[in-house]
Copies of this chain bind each other. A is one copy, B any other.
Amino acid sequence: MSLSSLQTKLKAGAMSVVLAVASFSSLAAHPNLVITQSDVVKMRGALDSQGYFSERYHSLKAQVDKEIAFPIVVPVPKDGGGGYTHERHKKNYQLMYRAGIIYQLSQQQKYANYVRDMLLEYATLYPSLDVHPKRKVKSQNPGKLFWQSLNEAMWLVYTIQAYDLVHDALTDQQTNIIEQQLLRPVALFLSQGQPTTFNKVHNHGTWATAGVGMAGYVMNEPEWVEKALYDLDKSGKGGFLKQLDMLFSPQGYYNEGPYYQRFALLPFVTFAQAIAHNEPQRKIAEHRDGVLLKAIDTTIQLSYNGLFFPINDAIKSKGIDTIELVHGVTVAYSLTNDTGYLDIAKQQGQIILSGDGLKVAQALDKGLATPYTFKSVAFGDGSDGKEGALVIMRSQLDGDQALLFKPAAQGLGHGHFDKLTWQFYDKGEEIVSDYGAARFLNVEAKFGGRYLPENNSYAKQTVAHNTVVVDETSHFNGDVEVGNKNAPTLNFFETSKYGTVSSGEISTAYKGVELERTLALVNLKELNSTVALDLFSVVADKAHQLDLPLHYKGQLIDTNFKLKANTKQLSALGDKNGYQHLWLKAGSTPKQGLAKVSWLNDNGRFYTSTSLVNGDESFLFTQIGATDPNFNLRNEHGFIRRVSGTKQHQFISVLEPHGEYNPSKEYTLMAQSRVTNLKHSQQGEMVLVELEIAKKHYLIAINNATLASKKSFKYQHQSYSLNGRLGVYLMNNI
């Protein structure tokens, strides 16, 4: 998408809604939040033509018809997340919102009546409520309808839109009851009633400000909008704009990672649309160089095979088809006309019934979608983009590979202690994996559906990731406050025809220990293959035990060194910091040379990690599942490379996808690693890796200098020149 076309677009948009603004200062027209009166006219016009839009309309109408045939149920709040009353109230706000849309499109009174009656029931119930009986005493502000105020804010975001959609079908008496007994009290409860959450620069704050701000537009309370935008005291220290400034990096990366990024996206996108429609002069879409659009695009980039990269507290099945991102992509296409977004919209398979949704639907009808391009990119972290970065490397040379490298900031309370960790993906699957969050969302039997205790005791701990653990303690000693204050540094990132390389470091994860990692996704074009090179250097001021785990997905196939397996009895590997959850299945200390571990993934491909070892690295094979009395953990596999009593160590390895296992067609190809040699050396700041693979002899050079100017060097009597960070050279064939 071109930024200039975006800006033209934004200006045009700004002009066309001048009329709507005027009405904010006098009497608001309805609807005028995400959906405007003029949208409604266009949408009604599209209902009779065949296509994605009318299809979605008719299917939603049929759904709503089915639902509103049942009696309205507005239960007295009782249950926590996942429980009956919780789910019922969630369902109610969605239903009101949908019925409101169907009312506007069908112009049939019964839908408005349904929303009206439900609102009136809520208006009767709400004044009688105290805070929720299942509230969490310490960690979160409570709601009244819901155990946590976050859900109450979500309720308001949907309900205020539903009310806006049916407003003109109500009598003055009805609007009066609904506003006085329900909507105003909820808005006040969520704003002045809980200043810490409302003013907080955090996604919970965004939901609250979005709900309250939109209520301000609908109920003609400009003060509420001001407070929503600038903090309760209008200082600008909190509020929606501060959230936009602080929660995203300049590239639109959200500090907590993609799982929460997509979650946070909806109130941002929703409220921003409402602002644009009511007060275009605020130029909200242009705010901070269009950061909101960047945030939407970044959310897409942070996915692989439709699922978000599961860094930090993330439930792994969340992906681009999540409703929040459907809204986001809808707005992104409307703002930019970039047909790549239609590709994503097609994969999402959901059409939003809004003005922007109509645009998407009509473009899809015309077959305008073009492939969305996933790129190799380093997303700067932190509000200034300088607190490290989240790095994504991609290659389509052989398969569909993605390498995630995380010299990123802690990411607040949902962050994991996983500085410099990595993940690897190929052919649609996780290969080197991250546990994600330990949680069964809304499953009552699993700790009430909340984050499990094992989320803290295992999933967040360093050993649950693919990065160095010093002396069996987690980064920052597991202290999230310290973590939030100390981000890694991104040393460099470069992508070229040779592949992608990046380096990051951190000296604050452990006192007196420097951790520096360079990862490269290297294209070996003569072999039509890709390998991932991993160079992890640890330098400490005194001797430590260093562990580098690799959590792999698949079945162990082979090691080129003999394993001593624990076949009769298993013990936990340690007693704290996550180690208490690992069974030790086998161990070995391979002799000097190449140590290979091969596994077979469900995608039918083999993967071999070849490590260059000096005879001092032990390999410990683990399985998750110890100290797990309630069977809360998934029993996944890994191996830990361990060196003890050392001040300095380099973990050097290459990960190689190879071959194919196809029992259905009864063939197996190249089940053995093709790597026959791996050497590592350094010439000043030039890192040189010799790699012999499949009878080809490669030299891989990485320029580690602070500034990478063009550089010449000699290796084995041959001259080479490197312009940039990464060079891949075919040496004399062997």
Alpha-carbon distance A567/B443, docked complex (angstroms): 23
Task: Say whether A623 faces chain B, with CB atoms less than 8 Å apart.
Answer: yes
Task: Say whether A493 faces chain B, with CB atoms less than 8 Å apart.
Answer: no
Min Cβ gap A354→B in Å is: 19
Q: Which of A163-171, A319-327, A482-490 contacts B (4 or more CB under 8 A)?
A: A319-327
Instruction: Count copies of this chain in the complex.
Output: 2
Task: Say whether A717 faces chain B, with CB atoms less than 8 Å apart.
Answer: no
User: Cβ of A666 and Cβ of B569 under 8 Å apart?
Assistant: no
Contact residues in B for A631 (Cβ distance below 8 Å): 555-556, 565, 585-586, 621
Given A568-B571, A626-B568, A635-B623, the answer on whether A663 and B441 have CB atoms closer than 8 Å is: yes
Chain A 443-499 interface residues, beta-carbon cutoff 8 Å to B: 443-446, 449
User: Cβ of B667 and Cβ of A87 under 8 Å apart?
Assistant: yes
Contact residues in B for A630 (Cβ distance below 8 Å): 563, 565
Task: Say whether A414 faces chain B, with CB atoms less than 8 Å apart.
Answer: no
Min Cβ gap A402→B in Å is: 20
User: Cβ of B563 and Cβ of A627 under 8 Å apart?
Assistant: no
Task: Say whether A668 faces chain B, with CB atoms less than 8 Å apart.
Answer: yes
Which of chain B's residues has its CB closest to A633's CB? B555
Contact residues in B for A628 (Cβ distance below 8 Å): 565, 567
User: Cβ of A445 and Cβ of B598 under 8 Å apart?
Assistant: yes
Min Cβ gap A227→B in Å is: 29
Alpha-carbon distance A570/B446, docked complex (angstroms): 23
Alpha-carbon distance A445/B598, docked complex (angstroms): 10
Task: Say whether A634 faces chain B, with CB atoms less than 8 Å apart.
Answer: yes
Contact residues in B for A322 (Cβ distance below 8 Å): 664-665
Task: Say whether A440 faces chain B, with CB atoms less than 8 Å apart.
Answer: yes
Contact residues in B for A625 (Cβ distance below 8 Å): 585, 623
Task: Say whether A672 faces chain B, with CB atoms less than 8 Å apart.
Answer: yes
> Which residue, of A444, A555, A665, has the highest number of chain B Cβ atoms within 10 A?
A555
Chain A 641-688 interface residues, beta-carbon cutoff 8 Å to B: 661, 663-669, 671-672
Task: Say whether A442 faces chain B, with CB atoms less than 8 Å apart.
Answer: yes
Min Cβ gap A76→B in Å is: 21
Contact pick for A665, options B323, B557, B572, B626, CB 8 Å: B323
Task: Say whether A38 faces chain B, with CB atoms less than 8 Å apart.
Answer: no
User: Cβ of A568 and Cβ of B572 under 8 Å apart?
Assistant: yes
Min Cβ gap A627→B in Å is: 5
Alpha-carbon distance A600/B571, docked complex (angstroms): 27
> Which residue, of A318, A444, A626, A631, has the highest number of chain B Cβ atoms within 10 A?
A631
Contact pick for A634, options B555, B558, B621, B671, CB 8 Å: B555
Task: Say whether A315 faces chain B, with CB atoms less than 8 Å apart.
Answer: yes
Alpha-carbon distance A350/B194, docked complex (angstroms): 64
Task: Say whether A133 faces chain B, with CB atoms less than 8 Å apart.
Answer: no
Contact pick for A318, options B315, B586, B600, B663, CB 8 Å: B663
User: Cβ of A671 and Cβ of B82 under 8 Å apart?
Assistant: yes
Q: Enumerate 14 A-B pairs (CB-CB under 8 Å) in ascending A order.
A: A82-B668, A87-B669, A317-B664, A322-B664, A444-B668, A445-B557, A445-B671, A445-B672, A567-B627, A567-B628, A568-B572, A570-B570, A585-B631, A586-B629
Top 8 closest A-B pairs, CB basis?
A445-B558, A442-B668, A556-B631, A565-B629, A570-B570, A441-B663, A315-B663, A567-B627
